[in-house]
Structure 1
């Protein structure tokens, strides 16, 4: 029987002996309370969760995989319960601003936690990993209303965030994308198109999904200079914060992959789905790269974790 033991000794050595991280970080605004004891406590709790909860689900999760039926995705046995523990532990909001319910810890700590999660159960880690980019993009570019409505639930992990770029004919060259956004005249837009290779695009572990989708306005310039970014919720949010009607966004199918089968990769259909502009018109690609840069670091920690 295989086991996973988090490399806490090595992590502490790098943090405290090589980088003197607490001393350096505590001199920066917002990190005044960072200390070696605080960082060690976070890493120790993460190790317990990864060793005791996530790792035992890794192999059976890959063997079972995600299942797709009538537009709904069911994650492998045990994943919903593990994700609930993840949310209850506050892990999704480690680095998020305390203004939105986060803990405001340094990214360096979060990447070490991410390394442990990736080693214990990489498929599981992709779900909250995508939400991190959504939090960053909305924190930097969202309106006050968007931040108020969506960030608290994303920070807790109760809602899933996604990044929706790729289309069947537009992979590395996003300037070719065809998804359209038509203004409704009330500040909202109707978005129509299909996106592929969307990690965590649909599943049963969260109550809502918040999709950040690249699309073109009617007057958009050609190429990448004509791309805007829109927020499209799976379920609309009522004035009191409760979830309302279902939006016109559905999962059309899921990819059948060679590995990481417990991490769902979706084809997402937007059939006149209602959404709202994030950031400026025609500046969506730059906004999406806020997410992309975060995810690049995330992918780097995944590489180390293997």
Structure 2
């Protein structure tokens, strides 16, 4: 849009930065992203196919894993093509509408994945503390309702973010510091008071992902405290092995977010590359590693995967 005077104008598009200062090697950076994208799509798709075709895997733990795979596929399809466009084709422009849509899917996927990780923690509590009633408590209809609640919870918390931003005009610098759109980046470009957005974004993160991480930690206290007090060493190791996959993917999911929050708030602003790299880790590593971790840790799933490839 054309400027109305020397200082006031409204942007029709945002510009994605990629990794500032590394433009000469964008092609070489894009090649690993292509490989990650291919592995991510292939790994999560195979997990979904194996769980769908093998009726012996229609158990709560694997159904929750299939939910994670669907979320990870959606997140990668919504973000990685934009990243590849920046690095491989220098396609840096993104319309405001597309940016808001991508921002919604990114934050919605992260909140929904956090909810599913909490459900998986509940699944482990029931499996270890009340194994005789496991199948009667976690029935298929209840699991379907839990999955629907996770989706509705994510929509309810995240939908206000783009709705609050769409009412603003964007007359400041239109350059985003990533290759994709995040709420905390977009709201800084608005030429208006963004206090409501800032408070809602922070409180929403604390209420959603902060509360989920605390409840997951408490679930492990519930699981391990009585086991460590009365069980033998072999039984303790068995309990830890049962929880190992979920613990690994929970750490992979929450650790980059915590580190990124600390870097944004306390690190010198001159170290601009670190938060950008951490942002890519936070976006790409959990969807990439989730199928790998469960395939390695779960003997049952690993056997089914080997049979699939042998056939």
Shared fold, TM over 0.5:
no
Task: Flag the structure with more relative contact order, 1 or 2, with Cα contacts below 8 A and sequence separation at least 6.
Answer: 2
The structure richer in strand per residue is 1
The structure richer in helix per residue is 2
Q: TM-score with structure 2 length normalisation?
A: 0.26
Q: TM-score with structure 1 length normalisation?
A: 0.26
The higher radius of gyration belongs to: 2
